[in-house]
Structure 1
Amino acid sequence: MLAAERREHLLDLLGRTGKIVAKDVAAELGISEDSVRRDLRDLATEGLCQRVYGGALPVSPAVVDYDARQAVAPDGKRKVAAVAAALVRPGGSVILDGGTTALAVARALPKNLACTVITHSPTIATALIDHPRADLFLLGGRVFKHSAVTCGAAAVEAAQNISADLCLLGVTGVHPEAGLTTGDVEEAAMKRALSARAADTYVLASSEKIGTASSYHVLPWAKITGLISDTDPHAPVVERLRALGVDVLIAA
């Protein structure tokens, strides 16, 4: 089989099954695992898959830059945001992560809601300026422009001095095997620091992120309270998540 044919086979397999196991493909095609791994490296370089130990998973479309992400699945993000915003109770406190889904949550919060919002996103803070009864706390640090949030040691230290009832956390990938992932190692660390300061953590994941993976692990399933998504409630990947004990809230 020619290299181009192997490439098409791998992409077709990834689309049909949601993963590639290198040793299985090597046995099926009668080639070495090294050849499969080289093909996967090439595909990953082109942004067509996310390499993991032993093979590859679908790559998340949410790793593009911030402006481009605003055009990805806006309807799904609004549905997820509506469910997430309803979790913020009057008089309550919420840690609101950065990203385009979190921005949709900020916009979905009632303008007369009395609450406390803690965020490391200047974009989120700006979106809530015209909410007169919302107390805003903006965590400082180095600005990570890809997601318009602060990260790094200063931001993590600032996060360690706050606490809240609820954390609404964004990720770029949700996969039963790879777990909750994002595309930057410092951003992953910041998300862990934020989640650790809340009584409950819900992950915001519109359907395009379900069944995909990014490079850096964020949290184990046991550390979150639930997952909010607009994906098909009967999809096999959702059933696998529920089998792992994940409480999946479907945003219709």
Structure 2
Amino acid sequence: MLTTQRKNLILDLLRRDGQVVAKRVAENFSLSEDTIRRDLREMAAQRLLKRVHGGALPLAPELPDLTARGEISSEMKQRLGTAAAALVRPGQMIFLDGGTTTAEIARRLPREFAFTVATHSPTIATALEKHPTAEVILIGGRIYKHSMVSTGAVAMTAISGLRPDIFFLGVTAAHPVHGLSTGDLEEAAIKRHIARCSAETYVLLTPEKLDMVSPCQVLAISEVSGLIVPTETSAARLRPYRELAASILEA
């Protein structure tokens, strides 16, 4: 087996199982464990996976600040935001998470009928300043500056009093085995709580977030109402997510 073929098979295992155990892979490939460990070291150097004792895990995505994230895949995020905004109906309460992708939803929300937007992000609330029909509820609390969202007990208590029709959740990573995740424990807890309070939860995912794992899990893929992804995402890459998600909308 060629080295390239072997590495591709290792990546396939990582996507399917959420981890790679060097000893098990060596046995399956009838190779030495040292050969597989060398492959894993090389792949880690290429930022294809994360080396851990005994094997490897999916790579955790980098977490650039909010301004830097706004420059990534902007046209793609606009399409996702348009598809998400089309789900909103008259009189509903929606909850917008923080982040640059959900900011695109705020910019594209319907202007011909009234609804309510709850958010724990002051930047999202500011984006709705001149929206003609949206009533805005801003949740307070301790600001997590990296994402510019409120976290902590104050935010949790305020969110408990709401029952949104739709929560548009933002995450930094999605994986069929490890679910939806983000980089901060408190932020993950708030996201999970909003989802529990909401009738439906939709997640907007750009391709660089797929098959990745951040340190703090929010929800399993099966726990959300749907994923909203770009149309150019390959069918093969989406297949394990289709088996878990209630629906996948392509934009």
The TM-score bracket by the shorter chain reads: 0.7 to 0.9
Q: Secondary structure at 2:238's aligned position in 1?
A: helix
SS of 1:177's equivalent in the other structure is: coil
Greater Cα shift, 95-104 or 204-213: 204-213
Q: Is the 8 A contact 2:59 2:213 kept in 1?
A: yes
> Is the partner of 2:219 in helix, strand or coil?
coil
Instruction: Return the alpha-carbon distance in structure 1 between the equivalents of residues 123 and 161 of structure 2.
Output: 21
| Deviation (angstroms), 1:126 | 0.1
Is 2:211 the partner of 1:216? no
- Does the 8 A contact of 2:207 with 2:233 survive in 1? no
1:149, distance to aligned residue in structure 2 (A):
0.7
Runs of 5+ in structure 2 lacking a partner? Answer: none
The change in CA–CA distance for 1:248 and 1:70 in structure 2 (over 3 A counts) is same
The residue that corresponds to 2:20 in the other structure is 21
Structure 1 residues 34-59: Cα deviation after superposition (integer angstroms, max 9, x where no partner): 967x959x959x97645689521133
Query: For residues 4-32 of structure 1, what are the alpha-carbon distances to aligned partners after superposition, in whole Å with 9 as ceiling and x for unaligned?
Result: xxxx98xx659953736132555566346
Percent identity at matched positions?
A: 41
- Aligned residue pairs total 241
TM norm structure 1 = 0.82
Deviates more, 1:146-155 or 1:135-144: 146-155
Query: Contact 2:173/2:213 (CA < 8 Å) preserved in 1?
Result: yes
- Structure 1 unpaired stretches of 5+: 1-7
Q: Normalized against structure 2, the TM-score is what?
A: 0.82
Per-residue Cα deviation, 1:146-194 (whole angstroms, up to 9, x for no partner): 1111112221121111111111111111111221111111111010111
User: Where does residue 179 of structure 2 map in the other structure?
Assistant: 179
- What's the secondary structure of 1:196's corresponding residue? helix
CA contact (8 A) 2:47 2:59 kept: no
Cα RMSD after superposing both structures: 3.2
Deviations 1:110-167 (A, max 9, x none): 3444110000000000000101321110111111111111112221121111111111
CA distance 1:79–1:55, shift in 2 (3 Å): same
Distance 1:127 1:140 in 2: 17
- Taking the aligned partners of 1:184 and 1:248, their CA distance within structure 2 comes to 26
2:180/2:217 contact within 8 Å kept? yes
| 1:131-150 superposed matches below 5 A | 131-150=131-150
